[in-house]
Amino acid sequence: MIASPHAMLDAALRLEQAGRVSEATAAYEVLLAAWPEIADGWYNLARMKRTLGESLAALSAYDEALKRGASKPEEIHLNRGVIFADDLRRDDEAESAYTAALLINPRYTPALLNLANLKEDQGKRDEARRLYGDALAIEPNNALALARLAGVSKTSDAQDPLIQRLKSTLARPTLTVEDRSDLGFALGRLLDQCGNYDEAFQAYAKANRAAREMTPPQQRYNRAAHEKLISKIIAAFTNPVEKTGAPAPIFICGMYRSGSTLAEQVLAAHPRLTAGGELNLIPALVQGKLAPFPESMATQSPAMLAQYAEEYRAQTAALFPPALQITDKRPDNFLYIGLIKAMFPDAKIVHTKRNLFDTAISVYFQHLGEDYSRDLSDISHYIRQYQRLMAHWKSLYTDDVLDFDYDGFVREPRPHLEALLAFLGLDWHEGCLSFHEAETSVKTASVWQVREPLYQKSSGRWRAYEKHIGALKAGLQK
């Protein structure tokens, strides 16, 4: 008996909800081969393709959904815009997609917010502020729009009307947990600018508690499980690799908020390099073809690893056609350095480091969405496990891992830049010291910092919060 399209769609959705992305993708493809007119099937296939890192295939599926008359076409244009902006770095096409969504529905605030975020990435702060304001004019109670408006605003006045608006909005009993989190992070940021550190810390603490509250217990940071994962990764990669002389990307990784954006923007000013940004290619491989990782590494042949490397090269070549060499600065790729070296034996790893207290509070103050980032004790535990894994990678790949010291660089950029370029086999380029003048799109939480000359105010920032971080200090000093 042939299953009905409705039953097949339900079966694919159940696979998706169970986290079985590859199987769900295959199920949608079988469904659409038989019933290509099902617009929802194309829409869902597009989402799965993007999860697997297949951005172009996702765009194609979204196009099919539009052709088949999918409901809410503005939502499809929005999703296409996100792929163009975040995955493909094609900002002009992203803006066209968001504009198409707004032509269909001028009051579609998600498109306004994403267009504003695109302008923010491009360093166009005034345009971003205007668009966030437009979203608030349509939805005065839109907490995300208010939080993002605060994110592109500066003040040194604790009585600033924007701070007062954030406080009054946070006092509303009808706020969702997510809204309390978004607004709390925004309020903490502005209070920090004003030097109201105690009040800022309380705002950040409440924001993180809200973020933790909206996370199901089974998805919260599990210290024992993370320790076990690190042990498995260490056990899966025990041998150095033989170099082949083949060209390889440069991987920049380390803890979030440890200077990876600075390192990449400095290097992007070199004529031989192109900034790839926070590419999802390695994590998508791990979550897709290599799931469960690292157990799957036991069955990966050299030919399979070479094939993954070629697929990576093809994807980055499509993203950055004129690039001589790219940087991939996904910070949590430090988890996958063994896989990276298995795929690219000649790859160089730039490991970003920063004062651990500064790193930790910056993670805590940034709305990262990482499970460990919502509690200072969890952050300290995660950092200790990160240190354990990095020590292992350095023992295996000693000559191919360079520590990039954020604090040292901002104090004395030239000698640190000389060492970095020499490590990468690149000639000296004076323009790397003027990285902040480049008109590049920066898709990261550090977007505004990298558009300014080097500054040291982020070094030692933790001291303003010292009385609040006893648990963190105790955890890091174990």
In this structure, which amino acid lies at residue 277? G
Helix (H, G, I), strand (E, B) or coil at 307: helix
Tokens encoding 245:
């002389």
What are the backbone dihedrals phi and psi of residue 195, each rounded to the nearest 5 degrees, phi first? 80, 10
Specify the pLDDT at position 446. 47
224-476 under CATH 3.90.1150.10, yes or no: no
Please, which residues have CB within 8 angstroms of residue 306's CB and are 6 or more apart in sequence? 343
* pLDDT tens string 389-437: 999 999 999 999 999 999 999 999 999 999 999 999 999 999 999 887 6
Mean of pLDDT values over 287-300 = 96
User: What is the C-alpha separation between 261 and 248, in angstroms, rounded?
Assistant: 20
In the predicted structure, residue 362 carries a pLDDT above the cut 90: yes
Please, which residues have CB within 8 angstroms of residue 382's CB and are 6 or more apart in sequence? 221, 226, 372
* pLDDT tens string 190-229: 999 999 999 999 999 999 999 999 999 999 999 999 999 9
Strands 273-275 and 250-254: unpaired
Q: Residue ranges of the domains in the chain?
A: 224-476
User: What is the C-alpha separation between 353 and 334, in angstroms, rounded?
Assistant: 12
Mean pLDDT of the chain: 93
Strands 348-353 and 250-254: parallel
Mean of pLDDT values over 38-66 = 94
Alpha-carbon Rg for the chain, nearest whole angstrom, is: 23
Specify the pLDDT at position 134. 98
For residue 160, the tally of other CB atoms under 10 A from its CB is 18
* Distance, CA of 148 to chain centre: 17
* pLDDT tens string 145-161: 999 999 999 999 999 99
Burial of 13 (0-12, 13-18, 19+ CB in 10 A): middle
User: For residue 354, which of 404, 406, 289 has the smallest C-alpha distance?
Assistant: 406
In the predicted structure, residue 168 carries a pLDDT above the cut 70: yes
Specify the pLDDT at position 453. 58
Q: How confident is the model at residue 53 (pLDDT cuts 50, 70, 90)?
A: confident
* pLDDT tens string 311-347: 999 989 988 888 789 999 999 999 999 999 999 999 9
For helices 376-396 and 356-365, angle between their N-to-C axes, nearest 10 degrees: 130
User: For residue 83, which of 300, 319, 258 has the smallest C-alpha distance?
Assistant: 319
For residue 440, the tally of other CB atoms under 10 A from its CB is 19
In this structure, which amino acid lies at residue 215? T
* pLDDT tens string 452-468: 556 566 788 999 999 99
